[in-house]
Amino acid sequence: MSNKTAKDVLSYAKEHGTQMVSLRFIDFIGRWRHFAVPLHELSEGIFEEGLGFDGSSIKGWLEIHNSDMLVIPDPNTAVMDPFTQTPTLVLLCNVSDPITKEQYMRDPRNIAARAEKYLKSTGLADTAYFGPEAEFFIFDGVRYSTEPHHMFFEVDSIEGAWNTGREEPGGNLGYKPGFKDGYNAVMPTDAHNDMRDEMCRILGEVGISVERQHHEVATAGQSEIDFRFDTLVKTADNLMWFKYVLKNVAARHGKTVTFMPKPLYGDNGSGMHTHQSLWKGGKPLFAGESYAGMSEMALHYIGGILKHARALAAICNPTNNSYKRLVPGYEAPVNLAYSSRNRSASIRIPMFSASPKAKRLEFRSPDPSCNPYLAFAAQLMAGLDGIENKIDPGDPLDKDIYGLSPEELKDVPKMPGSLEEALDCLKKDHKFLLKGDVFSEDALESWIEQKQKEVDAIRLRPHPMEYQLYYDI
């Protein structure tokens, strides 16, 4: 139900026996934060006036001497938490300045809302639909340490291809998907089917319509659950619920879920193929008579994403680990080209249906470590820049990109090879993000500053592989 009022929310809370209210907001990195208040503290006025909190400990936000902020609950987001022992109502919030009451320019949910507002202001379209496919791994456990004198990580899984020889309670039954051999596996090789079914059921309880679930390519529990597309902010909200539900269901089963793009060496990483389309007045705008049944507007949108893809990488692939997945020669799309059906292109035009309503593009480079509010907003702004400037995407590349010779590939642009390179691209190419005050120079500078710290954190530390390569020099 959309367009709920504060009174609707309070009635809903009482009907469900609510005792606590979790007020959630999204930090810069892309994690939910919250504080909880008893239901009697939630008045109708709070939906206008907000509640104060200290923002000084949120990375990339305010300094401690200027840290007071307000959360403004969005009444349309009211959902009961399916995991808390105490009946708890969840409300997603936007963040505002307590003095001016204006939107905080670094709040990712505000940025996403401004992107939707900018879209409408252009007159080109009134709705942008997004549908992400966020892949993930289910592990039995994870251990890691980054002390100055030692460093390691270890993950394990009942499905791990490396566990065919270990002794297990009740006997080792095999049924472990090999490296790159897990796609669409069935039970008992797929050890997590029932758990994913539970995830799907609870996603439905919080209002997310699941379309399918299956085992993904990699060994050790790589999985995918797809949910139905929606508008930009709503889809970002749904993706945050998606991560929350999956992690909590896994924890119930003594397992752990990660959305790291590349947790394992030598096997497939996790991407987040992002489907998107524009509509106006209830009509799809990406269907037409051009290549693959797309409209000229859609091709220009593709042109915008391809032009700005290297800058988008700093937001859509925002971790050092992202670039362990984006490596030439593997399935991850590093070559900036578009195609129908060809899954090795960074932008694919799905051909599952001839219906104009199904016409969309799929940007395959992003990964699920991103902040969805920022990533979807940035992709929309790049696509709109393509439409506004009629950017030609060039010819489609309907060949197996990985089968092309170096000579054939030399003129095909590529995604950055590291987070540092991506940040440099964003520094040079970000004006398209500033239109309509969607992103601000301040927000982008803070983002780059925070991400540069992550670059330095990796660069300054010895890697275990360096000992194997260099210790006995």
228-261 burial by CB neighbour count: b if 16+ within 10 A, else e?
A: ebbbbbbbbbbbbbbbbbbbbbbeeeebbbbbbb
Q: For 132, left (φ over 0), alpha (ψ -120 to 50), or beta?
A: beta
Give the pLDDT of residue 60. Answer: 74
Query: Residue 156 in 3-state DSSP?
Result: strand
Contact 115, 377 (CB under 8 A): yes
Catalytic residue check, 54? yes
Q: What's the burial of 151, exposed, middle or buried (CB within 10 Å: 0-12/13-18/19+)?
A: middle
Q: Is 273 a catalytic residue?
A: yes
> Is residue 364 annotated as a catalytic residue, yes or no?
yes
The structure's pTM equals 0.96
User: 125: how many CB neighbours lie within 10 A of its CB?
Assistant: 22
Q: Which of 224, 237, 267, 385 is catalytic?
A: 224
Which one of the listed residues 273, 275, 360, 430 is annotated catalytic?
Answer: 273
Return phi, psi of residue 243, to 5°.
-65, -40
Q: What is the Cβ-side half-sphere exposure of residue 62, based on CA atoms within 13 angstroms? A: 18
**CATH hierarchy code of domain 127-470:** 3.30.590.10
Q: Which residue from 414, 425, 418, 422 is spatially nearest to 335, judged by alpha carbons?
A: 414
**Residue 49 among the catalytic residues:** no
Q: 144 - beta bridge partners?
A: 153
The burial of 356, by beta-carbon neighbours within 10 Å (0-12 exposed, 13-18 middle, 19 or more buried), is given as middle
Per-residue pLDDT tens for 278-313? 999 999 999 999 999 999 999 999 999 999 999 999
Annotated catalytic residue 360: no
Annotated catalytic residue within 362, 367, 385, 420 = 362
407 is a catalytic site residue? no
What would the pLDDT profile of 3-51 be if each residue is shown by its tens digit?
899 999 999 999 999 999 999 999 999 999 999 999 999 999 999 999 9
d(CA 225, CA 210): 7
Specify the pLDDT at position 1.
46
Annotated active-site residue in 81, 135, 226, 385: 135
Find the largest Cα–Cα distance for the chain: 72
Residue 425's H or E segment, with its range, is helix 419-428
Strands (E), 250-405: 256-258, 272-280, 283-284, 338-340, 347-349, 361-363
H-only helix segments in 23-79? 46-49
Closest CA to 390 of 138, 204, 124, 182: 124
Q: Does the annotation count 114 as an active-site position?
A: no
Say yes or no: do domains 6-103 and 127-470 share a fold: no
Within 63-158, residue ranges assigned H as helices are 108-122
Q: Is 102 assigned a catalytic role?
A: no
Instruction: List the catalytic residue out of 216, 226, 267, 420.
Output: 216
pLDDT number for residue 56: 74
* Per-residue model confidence (pLDDT) at position 76: 97
Contact (CB, 8 A) for 27 and 6: no
Is 429 in the active site? no
Strand 88-96 versus strand 127-139 pairing type: unpaired
Contacts of 280 (CB under 8 A, 6+ apart): 124, 125, 126, 127
Domains of the chain, by residue range, sit at: 6-103, 127-470
Q: Which candidate in 114, 192, 300, 364 is catalytic?
A: 364
Q: Which of 16, 33, 214, 343 is catalytic?
A: 343
Pairing of strands 88-96, 20-26: parallel
Helical packing angle, 419-428 and 296-316, nearest 10°: 120
Structure confidence at residue 62 (pLDDT): 64
What pLDDT does residue 402 have?
67
Number of residues that this document lists for the chain: 473
Distance CA 463, CA 38 (A): 47
Catalytic pick from 41, 44, 48, 54?
54
pLDDT of residue 426: 98
Tally: H helices and E strands in the chain: 13, 18
* pLDDT (0 to 100) of residue 123: 97
Look up the CATH architecture of domain 6-103.
Roll (3.10)
Q: For residues 439 and 117, is the Cβ–Cβ distance under 8 A?
A: no
Residues in the chain where the model's pLDDT stays below 50: 1, 64-65
